[in-house]
Amino acid sequence: KGRDFHIRILLPVDFQLKNASIECSWHLKKILHGYGHILKQRLHSCPDLLSFMVELKTILEIALKNTPDLHVPRPPEYYSCLVRDLEILGWDKVAYVDTGLATIKLKAEDSCGRQHLITLKLNAKYPKDPPDCLVDFPVEFAISWMPQNSLTDIYHQFLTALESLKEFWDAMDEIDGKTWVLEPENPTRGATSRRIAIGNNVSVNIEVDPRHPNMLPECYFLGAEHVVNPLRIKLNNNMHLWDPELSLLQNLKDLLEIDFPSCAVLEKSDFAKDCGICYAYRLNGTTPDQVCDDPRCGQPFHQACLYEWLQGLPSSRQSFNVIFGECPYCNK
């Protein structure tokens, strides 16, 4: 059938072909599914590698004849219907089309001018079956679909979903634009958490509800206990002051009675210090979030670095999954 496949035959220590094992791609494995017992039988009975390869080729050709082709050509109606739908929708809304006309990316702008993409993966039965829709949303995006629907219907549902998430993206954009976000480094539109710098080695991790972005988010403080504790107390004491009419960022400022470091005024290096063990700021995507509790030290470490360091100390002790030991910097 003119198809090429790569396989690897691993011989055991004794070089006996009957005890060999075969490795191949998932595609070939799928084709040979159900022929395993025949392959084993041929491995046992073939005198040498060359004769086994001839047998394998025969088995593979039989398997290919009995395997429905994975790349089924789509009917002409599929293409005519799809092109008609794209014409009605407008080519200006198309960001990408693959050569097989099976994957399409549509672009849209919300009322605040933010650009968004929706990826549609169509199967051969379109428009009878709906396409799979992939979006960068913080919530699930499910389309309602009838066989008479078209790409225009999906596009309108996409626009409606964009407007329903407007307040969430407004809140996140304000945080991204006016504070120093330590993590994630490049937040996607679907990311609901932000770790925001408060001061030197002190930050707060917030988890925002995309459906209710102006409500109090989950807050988790990171830093030395003597700095973090007063912030926790302020948050608990001022919780009743939360005003849904104000922005998420303004509410956090009011409750914590602080001003967050601004990326317009301060550099990241002013409060983001490197790990005291590996001397790097970012390690496998994480930043230093473990801080020495001694007020005179306050050195930050990556959790992984600190755990490995403390495990190697004879003076440290472990209780279940918590390890106790001395600070690598100040020995407290």
Q: What are the tens digits of pLDDT across the range 43-60? A: 888 888 899 999 999 999
- Any idea which fold 274-324 has? Herpes Virus-1 (3.30.40)
Task: Tell me what pLDDT residue 227 has.
Answer: 85
The CATH architecture annotation of domain 76-165 reads Roll (3.10)
CATH class of 179-269: alpha beta
Q: Phi and psi dihedrals of 314, rounded to 5? A: -70, -20
Task: Tell me what pLDDT residue 270 has.
Answer: 62
Confidence of residue 116 (pLDDT cuts 50, 70, 90): very high
> Which has the closest alpha carbon to 53: 41, 42, 68, 69?
42
What are the boundaries of each domain within the chain? 7-70, 76-165, 179-269, 274-324
**Residue 124: CA count within 13 A, CB half-sphere:** 7
More confidently predicted of 154 and 15 = 154
Give the C-alpha distances (Å, rounded to integers) separating 286 from 3, 45, 46, 197, 300: 45, 55, 54, 14, 12
> Which residues have CB under 8 Å from 302's CB, separation 6+?
275, 277, 278, 283, 286, 287, 288, 289, 290
Average pLDDT over the chain reads: 88
Enter the pTM of the model.
0.66
Q: Does position 191 have pLDDT exceeding 90, yes or no?
A: yes
Asked if 192 contacts 206 with a C-beta cutoff of 8 angstroms, the reply is: no
More confidently predicted of 93 and 11 = 93
Asked, colleague to colleague, whether 76-165 and 274-324 share their fold, the answer is no
